[in-house]
Amino acid sequence: MTIDMGNNKYKILVVEDEDNIASFIKTNLEINNYQVICAGTCEMGLRMFSSHHPDLVVLDLGLPDRDGLEFIQEIRKSEAIPIIVLSARTSENEKVFALDLGANDYITKPFGTEELLARIRAVLRSNRHCSELGSIPGGKFQLKDMVIDYDKRQVTIKGTEIDLTQTEYNIVAYLSEHAGKVLTYASIIQAIWGYSDYGSTKKLQVNMKNIRKKMGVTPGERRYIINELGVGYRMMEE
């Protein structure tokens, strides 16, 4: 099935050292109307990222020169471009660590073509939706000493910026759009990732735990974002 993403093709950087896998991904993405560039090492991937400005990165972690996690760290110093990890590492800790560093999604090898394409479409949709948040009238949301600046994609508390990953920011911004309303786990997951699977709720909970910690909220404390146990989350109102 060919997916037409519009007149302007999305450019995807594939950082994968196994030639057969890289070629397989490239072929299937090109069939589905994506522009694809490939890199076989972390260093080459970083150089191509800087020179080609891709819309999304598909990243293997087991690269020959440096760990793919270092690629995520380097990119997240200055860029919020979506990153989908594609790796043979299956432990929950590995997945959580990659997501904590700023990966938008994590797919374990072996993987299905349709799953990869669906994840790419979902991440691109989510990224496009969240980039439009800056069009909200006024451009800012304030709750007590917390301010969300949609134009800058920035969250501050008492004037100090909170260092959120792209996904963490997207969650906070989405909740703020519906302040005072309980949003179910499923609705948040659909809005942020565009799909749901067996690990989605856990992924959301991990991100929310990190958000609350970065905001200085202790476990059980009802401040900024309320956990409605077994249901979802609610951004408080003034």
**Residue-wise pLDDT tens digits, 62-102:** 999 999 999 999 998 888 788 999 988 878 788 888 887 88
What is the distance between the alpha carbons of residues 202 and 237, in angstroms, rounded to a whole number? 26
∠ CA 215-130-158 to the nearest 5 degrees? Answer: 25
In this structure, the answer to whether residues 70 and 147 fall within a common structural domain is: no
Range of the structural domain that residue 205 is part of: 136-235
What is the distance between the alpha carbons of residues 140 and 214, in angstroms, rounded to a whole number? 20
Select from 36, 26, 33 the least CA-distant residue to 4: 33
In this structure, the answer to whether residues 140 and 126 fall within a common structural domain is: no
What pLDDT does residue 175 have?
93
Number of folded domains that form the chain: 2
In this structure, the answer to whether residues 127 and 19 fall within a common structural domain is: yes
pLDDT confidence of 238, banded at 50, 70, 90? low
User: Is residue 54 situated within a structural domain?
Assistant: yes
pTM, entire model: 0.61
User: Is residue 2 situated within a structural domain?
Assistant: no
pLDDT in tens, 146-162: 999 988 889 999 999 99
pLDDT in tens, 122-150: 788 766 655 554 444 447 889 999 999 98
Domain boundary among 109, 131, 153: 131
| 182: β partners | 234
Domain boundary among 74, 104, 131: 131
